[in-house]
Chain A
């Protein structure tokens, strides 16, 4: 079941195209990563999905409808925007209480306390939010986005300003929301490590256009450059080893960093490479194939798209 559908979405702001034919969809229970450099149009897409902006053309639907005109549907959506959206003069409890009333949440007190406990702010529930650190505000805003137990959550940089421990908490929370509760999560993020760990599918946006859209694994496979890392035992043998590796027909490119040599080649040729090196008396500590991270994938997609402009 498709929870989010974006089809040929175009948006002009001040006669400038911000989005140009963006198409993707997100299935129920999926964690979808929406990536792209600053100014790519990620937040504009999010704002259109949330009904804050109207599309110039195309569709941006949540549960098959546009959120903008549908007050009841908005009750099924939780939001954490780049701005925390908290009231600094109200306490943490009052902030959650306010939104709990706006979403007509039942058992307010219990839910608020549970959420405050979950984000580690129960002992500071009566303090004005203005006294909180950036990380604490972010955690409270995260709790606020879940106060009405929404079916779909839109997170814009949820771990921005959080320490590593809190970032881990956010990741675990997102995974739990999707795996245990079947919630759908739309994650707008720059944190590629987070996205790689939690997202099942990603789209990479640049200059208002989708440049890549697939599962994380498929994307990594698509842009992968096969490479092998050879760690030598003796630094004195590095130059000799480099010359030898460079001379091999199946190695397209090769570079050296201290005792490490990175050879662009298919994994299947590792055995031949090893025998060639040992034949020349080069001592080897380790040989392993180099994996492509989401960061490598992202940078390659962006660079490739930049080159085509």
Chain B
């Protein structure tokens, strides 16, 4: 069976499911929209736009991606729908990867939405045309989707491997880690803007390395993923 085709089938179903979940979409719009606009307005410096785009794209993508992975991985496990899917001729890896793609695509779209808002609002409050720098464009269109996908694959793996109680703890930890990062990133943008610093190739490269390292770790950890682990953790709570 064509694994790529099956992954696409799963991803398409997950995207449809997310598209029809109004609560999730509203949460995504809230995080993506509000965070993007707030970032610009609070920093107040148009020279900080590149910095704001840099951090907003990442944080919104990861935050929204986390909430989508809850629908794609955790909910399906909690409601035991996953058991029927595990009985199909698909490999566990194809199921996992299909779900990662299914959560990454809409999360990335929300990330792009917030980036668009940052650029739009920045241009509204300045008379001259502001465009993102080349490293920032490479970051948004090259690094961010990889970063979101690697984060979602790690979160999804954790949600599959852990019991429901452990998943709750993981959820608190992720939100607890992301939130303090989101607001200092606004302040960071402000400070860096004032100092006139710009997003460098080093920043972009560091993000890419972080994403690749996370992906490597997740790929390594995925060897512990098996059907029995999913089913027994589903029975545990």
Contact = CB atoms under 8 A, between A and B. Distances in A.
Given A74-B89, A83-B79, A90-B16, 14 more contacts: A13-B232, A50-B87, A52-B87, A52-B227, A54-B228, A68-B227, A71-B91, A85-B81, A85-B83, A87-B13, A87-B17, A87-B81, A89-B21, A102-B6
Contacts of A144: 84
Interface string B207-237: 0000000000000000000011001100100
B89 A79 contact: no
Interface in B1-55: 1, 6, 9-10, 13, 16-17, 20-21
B120 interface: no
Nearest to A100: B9
10 cross-chain pairs, A with B, having the tightest CB-CB distances, nearest first? A85-B84, A83-B80, A89-B20, A79-B87, A74-B89, A71-B89, A101-B9, A75-B89, A102-B88, A52-B231
Interface residues of B, number: 26
Contact of A74 (B13, B87, B228): B87
Interface of chain B: mostly helix, strand, loop or mixed: helix
Interface string B141-178: 00000000000000000000000000000000000000
A52 B83 contact: yes
Interface in A97-144: 98-99, 101-104, 128, 144
Contacts of B228: 52-54
Interface string A241-278: 00000000000000000000000000000000000000
A258 to B, nearest CB: 48
Interface of A: 13, 47, 50-54, 68, 71-72, 74-75, 77, 79, 81, 83, 85-87, 89-90, 94, 98-99, 101-104, 128, 144
Contacts of A98: 9, 13
Nearest to B90: A102
A144 B85 CA distance: 11
B134 interface: no
A54 B228 CA distance: 7
Contacts of A77: 87
Given A71-B1, A87-B81, A89-B20, A51 B227 contact: yes
A103 to B, nearest CB: 7
A277 to B, nearest CB: 59
Give the most central of A47, A51, A52, A99: most B CB within 10 Å: A52
A94 B1 contact: no
B187 interface: no
A53 B17 contact: no
Contact of A52 (B6, B16, B86, B90): B86
28 contacts: A13-B232, A13-B235, A50-B87, A51-B87, A51-B227, A52-B87, A52-B227, A53-B227, A53-B232, A54-B228, A71-B90, A79-B84, A81-B80, A81-B84, A83-B80, A83-B83, A83-B84, A85-B80, A85-B81, A85-B83, A87-B81, A90-B16, A90-B17, A90-B20, A102-B9, A102-B88, A102-B90, A128-B20
